[in-house]
Structure 1
Amino acid sequence: MNDIDAEAGPGYDAVVVGSGFAGSWAAKELTEAGVGTLVLEAGPPRRAEEIPDRAAAYAAPAGAGEGSWPRQPVQSSHFHFRPRGPHLFVDDLEHAYETPPGMPYRWIRGMQVGGRSLVWGGSALRLSPFETEAADVDGSSPAWPIAYRELADAYDRVEELLALRGTAEDLPQLPHGRFRGDPPVLTPAESDFRRSYRRPGTRAVPVRYVAADAGDGGWPGFSVQATALGAAGRTGRLTLRPHARVTSVTVDPVNGRATGVEYVDVGTGVRHRVRARVVFLCGGTIETARLMLHSRSPRHPRGLGNSSGWLGRGLMDHPLLTSSGVLQGCPPEAAQPWTGRQCGLLVPPPQPWSEGVRPFALWVSLQRRVAGGAALGGIDAQGEMLPHRRNRVRLGDRRDRWGVPVPVIECGYGPHEERLYDLMRQEIERAASVAGLKDLTVAEALTAPGGNVHELGTARMGASPADSVLDPHNRCWDAPNVFVADGSCFPSGGWQNPTLTVMALAARAGRFAAGLLRDGEC
């Protein structure tokens, strides 16, 4: 490894690590507020033509593109891998991680400019007050230090740019969004289910999603290049540097505040140090935990921001239970093709909830696929994993080729998640009966942690530095010019797909940091 070659010039107002959902929204808010911003991305840039048409990719015959991917054994297990393309997923051998025996974890990654937005299914759901206030009800997780109303404006801004599709529903557990464009189209079988399904405190509603309509430069609408990252670039205040693997956050030895970051040019091996007044960590839950743990110094001997001992802990995913069956009496010629995005119906959990475990939702997709001359359907249940302290990311003894310790991921379900399985199965079977699904097959276990690609936690927000890593504005308690705005900041997961909330939190934190910079407080 070559010696450090310090960046020339006065540095930047802000440096953002990662160019995916969180990093792009932080950069958008910073640059639009007049802040000169450097975004460092470990992976390569992409061209719009490298992103396959989503509808065409999933319409390919079964088995198309089958093969062996010895360098991507984990990534190839994900259902988006073949249709979206192996090039949009990492090389597992080069980007290794470790797990203890008996604790499998699937870490699905898209290390490139745009991150996992390039393979996103587009599901976009707000948290509700029931999730942000859940700790007050059952005490099973730490409290969110912010109320739903404090996120509402950021949700509005994000949904406007994403051109979110959906319908307004009078359900308190499913807050209204800013919808644009035509509402989702249901199949005849889904419309029948929507009319027939009955459960107190909830009902089936169309899913909410971001369409693939091409934006500027031909980028699909679900990508950050078509939305936040593109907007940041148009300000003229964004510097985007791909192939830049950040290895540590540098800090002032006197006050412990961040002074910038060190990174390696993955092509040349040259190490660089860049200065910044504000540092945003947005590389993804596990990568952010690893980077902070590795950023040790006399002022941060256990890792940057780890005075509480919670850094790296509380790792979560969303437990998922899948099922499938055959729709009898449903003509296959009426089926509408699945296009790789969220489609069909969502059944949010009823409120109030009184089952003794955190609530779960159903996703109902009927008459979207055909096999053997019959229309098929599926009903999946997604719930919440509690932030157990034992589920964590720590640094291993082995180092990668950039000199950073390989992460060890220790994550498994507990009694709460085990109880979820039985409740989920019962409701899936009841809903399948309403839908007319026959020959129903329900998975024998929840998806393994990581398999749902909703990793959260490890640097949680809180009201006190005694039991959290970040304050209510996503600032590191121990280094208040460091912001963590990806999924690692979640104190609990809720049942909703988290991507929209990640973007809203990053947008909120970016706007707050821009105000501090403007006022000379950073």
Structure 2
Amino acid sequence: MVDDRRVVVVGSGPAGAMAAHELVRKGIPVTLLEAGDDIQHGVLVRIGGRNFYRRLPPMRKAGGFVVTGNPETNLEYTYALGGLSNQWTGAVPRFCAEDFTAGEQVHEKFRWPVSYDELAPYYEIAERHMRVTAGANSVPSLPAGYSDYQHQIPSDWQQVARSALKHGQGMTTMPLADGPPFLLLRRGTAFNSYALLLQKLRDNPAFRLVTGAHVLMLEWDRVKQRAGAAVYYDRQTETQKRVSGSAFVIACGPLNSPKLLFNSACSDRPHGLGNSAGLLGKYLHDHPREWWAVDIDKPITSLSPPAYLTRLPHTASDPLLACSWTLGAFGTIGKIKSRFGQKSTSFGVQVFGTMIPKEKYYVRPSRDQKDEFGLPKLEVHIEFEEEILANVISARQYFLQLMENAGYKGTIRDIVPQLFPGTAKHYGGAARMHASPEFGVTDSFQRLHDAPNVLVVDASSFTTGAEKNPTLTVMALAARSAGQLARDLKANVTG
């Protein structure tokens, strides 16, 4: 007997894997289409709760894009089981309540259609799959989540934490999906979304995985007024194939998901699925990112796992502008010392900043360049304005003053020039969520406003970008949306 509730999921990265896992768990059959063929191989050696050696597999330069914004814009991709979780460092901070609401101070269009309280149970669902190491308690701007392993920052860093708290900031262990204390893996990451979510479904008759399946477009059913099938290129047979479904969960990544929707244009939707209001592809955003080393005048414990310094409070910052700081071991000697809890006079700092999403930054089909399948390449137009860059650069002196207030005088060296789009690989926003179709491509459950049996569950649906790694929030949203889709299918109420 054929189950007409079958859902087609596109992409096996964290978002697609989370959605597929939750759908199958709730009794909905799933066909997952993945353009890659296998997990990418690396090496991870973890001993006593510390990563002693890690070799990540390389990424490829993307070939299906045209850059018209900052010419240095970085575009890389991974076609592999698990998507970018093959290269991910594993940071899983939760967004805080204000991250979902602060944008409305700028304009209603920047208010998320989901609250922290609504998302919190789904954060925990994701965290329980990820074997997280984290601090035990909430700190300002970073709610505590579920963790399998708890770790506190070293005692000599507590003075820095107290100095930060005077400014309304928190300092704690960076929540990381680092896995158990002892690991030897032939991949570069402890958490891989295929290995820890999808592989366990391989023997489930409700789950079908098709690899080497590069999805080209969704077909629109004019009679039923809904998406009816996914058309994909089978790399093994070098032929086009199609698979029908009751609903489609798109998780190709924050650039490729909008591209797929543009590719799915038809006579009823001439500008692409989800684009009736002309918003598809607009409000593209990314994290400006900077890395530098700090030398201090007296030793402090070398950090492993890294510590996380949260943003200044929302009430003390311009809306949608913030930075966070991740602190870890620097250099070969520093990393060796960190493995044994020894002290060092240097450490590394990574800064993530934010940008206010603007309509003028976008992705859209190229007018004259085609990809390998004869479809328009995707034009990517984004740059960081001076205000955004100044916000990140000011984080340098602010951090040095914070350390000095805590009794450690420092200087910065080895600033790595990364202040151009794409170095963080945290693009988002090009199929943004909003309660109203006037301001959003997708609704609160990531369904296209104009094609509700199509969901976009990766970071392209983000309304705004907080100064945090987006992966955990991506997975929590995907779990929430998959749960609602399962309920809708069982009640036969999809669009």
Cα-to-partner distance string for 1:406-452 (whole Å, 9 max, x where unaligned): 21111111354134134323313323534736441274866211111
Residue 327 to residue 393, structure 1, CA distance change in 2 (3 Å)? same
- Match for 1:391 among 361, 364, 378? 361
CA distance in 2 between counterparts of 1:281 and 1:96 reads: 18
Contact 1:463 1:471 in 2 (8 A): yes
Supply the AA of the counterpart residue of 1:52. Answer: V
- Corresponding residue SS for 2:261: helix
1:410 aligned onto 2:381: yes
CA distance in 2 between counterparts of 1:228 and 1:261 reads: 23
1:459 aligned onto 2:431: yes
Supply the AA of the counterpart residue of 1:370. Answer: I
- Match for 1:273 among 225, 242, 245? 242
Supply the AA of the counterpart residue of 2:310. Answer: P
Give the C-alpha shift of residue 256 in structure 1. Answer: 3.2
Partner of 1:349: 311
CA distance in 2 between counterparts of 1:403 and 1:19 reads: 24
- Match for 2:293 among 324, 334, 347? 324
- Match for 2:269 among 297, 300, 320? 300
- Match for 1:424 among 395, 402, 405? 395
Contact 1:123 1:497 in 2 (8 A): yes
CA distance in 2 between counterparts of 1:140 and 1:520 reads: 33
Supply the AA of the counterpart residue of 1:159. Answer: E
CA distance in 2 between counterparts of 1:37 and 1:425 reads: 47
Report matched runs for 1:362-401 at 5 Å: 362-366=325-329, 369-370=332-333, 375-396=345-366, 397-401=368-372
CA distance in 1 between counterparts of 2:408 and 2:360 reads: 42
Cα-to-partner distance string for 1:489-512 (whole Å, 9 max, x where unaligned): 001011111000000011111111
Supply the AA of the counterpart residue of 2:361. Answer: N
Residue range with higher mean Cα deviation, 423-432 or 404-413? 423-432
Supply the AA of the counterpart residue of 2:359. Answer: R
Give unpaired runs (5+ residues) of structure 1.
Answer: 1-8, 61-79
- Match for 2:34 among 29, 41, 49? 41
Cα-to-partner distance string for 1:218-271 (whole Å, 9 max, x where unaligned): 876411134222344354311111100000011112453100110001232110
Give the C-alpha shift of residue 105 in structure 1. Answer: 1.3
Residue 424 to residue 438, structure 1, CA distance change in 2 (3 Å)? closer
Contact 1:189 1:330 in 2 (8 A): no
1:205 aligned onto 2:172: yes
- Match for 1:480 among 439, 445, 452? 452
Residue range with higher mean Cα deviation, 95-104 or 343-352? 95-104
- Match for 2:323 among 357, 360, 364? 360
Contact 1:253 1:298 in 2 (8 A): no
Residue 447 to residue 231, structure 1, CA distance change in 2 (3 Å)? farther
CA distance in 1 between counterparts of 2:471 and 2:373 reads: 29
- Corresponding residue SS for 2:365: strand
Cα-to-partner distance string for 1:40-99 (whole Å, 9 max, x where unaligned): 00111237xx23115599867xxxxxxxxxxxxxxxxxxx9xx3123xx23x36x33221
Partner of 1:520: 492
Contact 1:456 1:490 in 2 (8 A): yes
CA distance in 2 between counterparts of 1:18 and 1:413 reads: 29
1:501 aligned onto 2:467: no
Sequence identity (%): 25
Give the C-alpha shift of residue 379 in structure 1. Answer: 2.4
Report matched runs for 1:152-301 at 5 Å: 152-181=120-149, 183-184=150-151, 186=153, 190=157, 193-194=160-161, 197=164, 199-213=166-180, 221-233=190-202, 235-301=204-270
Give the C-alpha shift of residue 190 in structure 1. Answer: 4.1
1:27 aligned onto 2:20: yes
- Corresponding residue SS for 1:370: helix
CA distance in 1 between counterparts of 2:184 and 2:478 reads: 23
Give the C-alpha shift of residue 385 in structure 1. Answer: 1.4
- Corresponding residue SS for 1:271: strand
Supply the AA of the counterpart residue of 1:211. Answer: D
CA distance in 1 between counterparts of 2:70 and 2:170 reads: 39
- Corresponding residue SS for 1:227: helix
CA distance in 2 between counterparts of 1:11 and 1:477 reads: 23
Residue 190 to residue 217, structure 1, CA distance change in 2 (3 Å)? closer
**How large is the Cα RMSD of the aligned pairs?**
3.0
Residue 322 to residue 216, structure 1, CA distance change in 2 (3 Å)? closer
Residue 140 to residue 415, structure 1, CA distance change in 2 (3 Å)? farther
Contact 1:15 1:280 in 2 (8 A): yes
CA distance in 2 between counterparts of 1:474 and 1:414 reads: 29
Give unpaired runs (5+ residues) of structure 2.
Answer: 338-343
Contact 1:27 1:232 in 2 (8 A): no
Partner of 1:66: none
- Match for 2:117 among 149, 166, 172? 149
Figure out how many residues of one structure are paired with residues of the other and give that number. 479
Supply the AA of the counterpart residue of 1:53. Answer: L
Residue range with higher mean Cα deviation, 256-265 or 422-431? 422-431
Contact 1:470 1:484 in 2 (8 A): yes
Cα-to-partner distance string for 1:309-330 (whole Å, 9 max, x where unaligned): 1101111111123221234443
Residue range with higher mean Cα deviation, 420-429 or 121-130? 420-429
Cα-to-partner distance string for 1:89-127 (whole Å, 9 max, x where unaligned): 23x36x332212643211232211111112211110111
CA distance in 2 between counterparts of 1:399 and 1:458 reads: 20
Supply the AA of the counterpart residue of 1:40. Answer: L
CA distance in 1 between counterparts of 2:265 and 2:278 reads: 14
Supply the AA of the counterpart residue of 1:247. Answer: L
CA distance in 2 between counterparts of 1:367 and 1:425 reads: 16
Partner of 2:92: 124
Partner of 2:279: 310
Residue 170 to residue 217, structure 1, CA distance change in 2 (3 Å)? closer
CA distance in 1 between counterparts of 2:69 and 2:138 reads: 47
Residue 166 to residue 421, structure 1, CA distance change in 2 (3 Å)? closer
Partner of 2:340: none
Supply the AA of the counterpart residue of 2:130. Answer: L
Residue 276 to residue 124, structure 1, CA distance change in 2 (3 Å)? same
Supply the AA of the counterpart residue of 1:425. Answer: R
CA distance in 2 between counterparts of 1:28 and 1:437 reads: 49
Partner of 2:341: none
TM (norm. structure 2) is 0.88
CA distance in 2 between counterparts of 1:451 and 1:141 reads: 27
User: Which of the pair is proportionally richer in strand?
Assistant: 2
- Corresponding residue SS for 1:53: strand
CA distance in 2 between counterparts of 1:52 and 1:170 reads: 32
